[in-house]
Amino acid sequence: MKTKITTYIPPHSDEMSEKFINTIMKQGKKNTARRIFNEMLAELEKRGHKEPKATFFKALENTKPTMEVRPKRVGGAVYQVPFEVQPKRQRMLSFRWIITAARGRKGMPMARRLSIEILEASEGTGAAVKKKDDVERMAQANRAFAHYARFTKKK
């Protein structure tokens, strides 16, 4: 039986923000990751968004994929089989794509790159949203192989 581990969440924060901070974090430097996140929120506010957290959550919603493909080997051939994405994985992929897109931009501090990517994602544009669209388009294109999903084990 699995027990859920509870962790300390600062009073001004929430679970989603803390998970995002953990995804930003590199080499265990949580204070640096938290500083980047807070500077990103301040940058969003400076750019005229009254509710930076709402913009952040809208960006996450816009980058969550509903379908993805997984390779499945059937009779010597490998098919890209479309699957629905579980909510936890949706959130994780959303975080990963936003942070990867922000790290791909060069020439400015990470907080500013992240704020630009969050703004673009909240408006439905940007590299993270493009990645989500590509993944969903791939799943749509391979829906003919959906019947192979029954051969896979549930995780």
In the structure encoding, which two tokens stand for residue 21, read together?
A: 């901070």
* Amino acid letter, 144: A
The DSSP line for 38-55 is HHHHHHHHHTT-S-HHHH
pLDDT digits (tens, 9 = 90+) for 127-154: 999 999 999 999 999 988 888 877 665 5
pLDDT on residue 155: 53
In the structure encoding, which two tokens stand for residue 120, read together?
A: 């673009």
The Cα–Cα gap between 12 and 150 comes to 45
- How far apart, in Å, are the Cα atoms of 35 and each of 15, 16, 32, 42, 140? 17, 16, 5, 10, 39
- How far apart, in Å, are the Cα atoms of 129 and each of 35, 64, 94, 100, 139? 25, 9, 9, 12, 15
The Cα–Cα gap between 38 and 114 comes to 11
Asked if 145 and 80 touch (Cβ cutoff 8 Å), the reply is yes
Strands (E), 12-123: 67-74, 77-84
The Cα–Cα gap between 34 and 31 comes to 5
pLDDT digits (tens, 9 = 90+) for 48-74: 888 999 999 999 999 999 999 999 888
Strands (E), 77-152: 77-84
Q: What is the mean pLDDT of the chain?
A: 90
pLDDT digits (tens, 9 = 90+) for 38-52: 999 999 999 888 899
Q: What pTM was estimated for this model as a whole?
A: 0.86
Domain parsing of the chain, residue ranges: 15-66+87-133
Q: Could you tell me which CATH number the domain at 15-66+87-133 has?
A: 1.10.455.10
